[in-house]
Structure 1
C-alpha cells in the first residue's frame, strides 16, 4: 500500500449494497487511512456529497463531506467550463444534481421553455417521460448534453436496477445524439478527485470493469477490482486490455498487506496454474492449491491475457473442474 498516496473508492457494489455495508469493507478502509488518503468517488448523481458522507459515517467510516466526489459535481464542473455564468441548464435528475449546477454559478431549470443552453442528466428513481420530453425538446433545439454517467445498471440489495445509462439511452434513441460524459469511465470525475487531494499515485477501486477499471485506464492509474458488485469472473477473464485491472480480489479486505498478492500478473495464485493452448485455457490445481476462487481466477487471467481474443476454459483435474464451476465459468 505504500506505493499509493490516495485511494479513489467506488461506492455502490464496492463499499455497500443499498443501505448496508459489504462485509469487511468498513474495517479495511478504516485501517488503510493510516497510510493513504481515502476518497469516495461515485457515479451515482442522485445524492449530494453531504448526504453520501452521512450515510458512510452511519456505516462506521470516518468521512468528511469533502472526501466524497460525485458525478453530479463532475457534470456541473464540465458545464461550468462551457456555459456563461448564470446560464439556464435543464436538469434531469434529483434536487441534489440541481444544487451542484447552482453551486457552479449556473441556473437549474426543469422546462425547455426556459431556453436552456445545456441539459445535464443524472440518476433519479423518479425520472419519467415528462422530464425526458422536456430534455428532448431542449436537445432538439441545440442544447449541449452532459450525462453524469452512462451506467446501464445500478446495484441494489435486491439486485441490479436500471441505471442512468438506461435513461440516457431513451434520449439517444429518440434524437440520435451522444452526450458528453462526466463520470466514469470518462476522465473528468476521477481527475477531479485526484486534483482535490493532490494525489501523485492514486489507486482506483471498484466493482465494474466498464466504469471503474476503464476509468483508471483513462487517467493512467492502477486499479483494484473487487467481485462484490456488477462484474463477474467471466467478464474479467474476457476483458479487453483497456478494461483489465491491476489487482483482483474478492472484496476490500485485500487492502493493506494483502494487496500485493492480488496483482493479476505478478501476485499469488494460491497453488493454481493455468496455460493457454490456442483458444483454450486449462486450469490445474497444485498440491498446495487452496480454496481462494480469486487466486484461481488470477491464474486463468494470466494465461488468457497472453493472446488476443476470448478463450474457453477447461479443468486439468477434478479440483480444477470444481473451481471452474465455483467461478461460474462455462467450459469448452
Structure 2
C-alpha cells in the first residue's frame, strides 16, 4: 500500500480551471493522475462554478486537452441552480434565465419552462455567466425581481480567469442586479454547498476530498460542507494567500499540483517539519532551516509556516528568513 490520498478517499471533487487545466493546457501529470485514481476505484467529479457550458461541452473540452472524462462525472453550478429552483416552484413554471443556452437547457431538464422576458410572467430568475449577457437581459430580470420572483445565482465569482487576465464574472453581474433590485440571491455554486452536495451524492463517495486552487470558492466550500481539502498551487491562489487565509478558507493539505493525491498522505499535511524551524512573534514569522539549500523543500516550509501561524494568529503577516536557505525558499514562494 502506498498510503497516498487515494488510499484514504473514495472520491475526488476536482475544480477545473487552475486545478486540472490552465486555460488551453492541461496541468502537467493531470491525465496520468486521473487515470490512476480511476484504476484505484476512486470516483471522480469535475466540479465547476461555470454555468455557461453543458456537461457534454465540458467533457469535449477536457478530452481535447487529453483528459479522460464522462458526462456523468461533470457537476456544474447550472445543474445545482436548476435543481434548487425546481424544489421551490411548481412544475412547468416559467423561469427567467440570464445565461447561456446550456443553462436554459438545464432549467428545461428539471421540468420548468425557461423564458427570457418579464412579460412571460416568470416566478423565478436564475443567473449564470454568459459572455453575451447585456443590459437588456439584466433589465428583464430586474423587473421580475422587483415583482417578487425567486432569485438563484449559479455562483458569485466576481472575476473569471482567462488567458488575457481576470475579467468580469457572474458575480459582477449579480452585483449589478443587487444594486438595481435591492434584492439578495441564493447561490448554488462554491463556496455554498448545494453544488458540492450534488457532486458527492452522485459520486456515492463516503470519504470525498475537494481539490482546488481557489481559497474563496474551492476550499471555503469544502470547509462549509465539512469535507477535507487539498489546495494546489497551479491556479489563482498563492503561497501568501494560503498563509494569510481566514479560518473558513484554510485547507487541510497543500500540494504543488493535482499529482499530490498520489503522494504519501503524510507529505501534504499542514504541520511542522524537522527541516524547518518557525517562530511567531506578533505579526512577524521567522523561518529557519536545518538543511542544505539544494535539499530544501519549499512546500514543506510553507506547510510549517501555515501550521505555526494559524495556531497563533490570522491575516497579514511578515515572513523573515534567518539564514540563506530560508531566505532563498521564501523568495521562491513569493513570501520574501
Structure 2 residue aligned with 1:23, among 10, 25, 28? 28
Name the counterpart of 2:324: 318
Name the counterpart of 1:240: 246
Name the counterpart of 1:271: 275
- What SS is found at the alignment partner of 2:67? coil
- What SS is found at the alignment partner of 2:254? strand
- C-alpha change, 1:140 and 1:325, in structure 2 (3 Å) is same
* 8 Å Cα contact 1:284-1:317 kept in structure 2: yes
Give the Cα separation in 1 of the matches to 2:300 and 2:47.
27
Give the Cα separation in 1 of the matches to 2:319 and 2:307.
13
Give the Cα separation in 2 of the matches to 1:183 and 1:121.
11
Q: Number of residues paired by the alignment? A: 328
Structure 1 residue aligned with 2:182, among 176, 182, 185? 176
Question: Quick check: 6-15 or 16-25, which moved more?
Answer: 16-25
Question: Quick check: 269-278 or 22-31, which moved more?
Answer: 269-278
Deviation at 1:5, TM superposition (A): 0.4
* 8 Å Cα contact 1:44-1:71 kept in structure 2: yes
* 8 Å Cα contact 2:256-2:299 kept in structure 1: yes
Asked if 1:196 is matched to 2:202, the reply is yes
Asked if 1:98 is matched to 2:104, the reply is yes
- What SS is found at the alignment partner of 2:79? helix
Long gaps (5+) in structure 2: 1-5
Question: Quick check: 109-118 or 12-21, which moved more?
Answer: 12-21
Name the counterpart of 1:286: 290
Q: Equivalences for 1:41-52 in 2 at 5 Å? A: 41-52=47-58
Long gaps (5+) in structure 1: none
User: Post-superposition, which runs of at least 4 consecutive aligned residues in structure 1 deviate over 4 A?
Assistant: none
TM-score where L is the length of structure 1: 0.94
Name the counterpart of 2:118: 112
- C-alpha change, 1:23 and 1:291, in structure 2 (3 Å) is farther
CA distances 1:140-165 after superposition (whole Å, capped 9, x unpaired):
11111101011112222332222111
* 8 Å Cα contact 1:12-1:154 kept in structure 2: no
Deviation at 1:281, TM superposition (A): 0.8
Deviation at 1:259, TM superposition (A): 4.0
- What SS is found at the alignment partner of 2:7? coil
* 8 Å Cα contact 1:202-1:221 kept in structure 2: yes
Deviation at 1:309, TM superposition (A): 2.8
TM-score where L is the length of structure 2: 0.93
Structure 2 residue aligned with 1:216, among 222, 227, 248? 222
Alpha-carbon RMSD: 1.6
Deviation at 1:203, TM superposition (A): 0.2
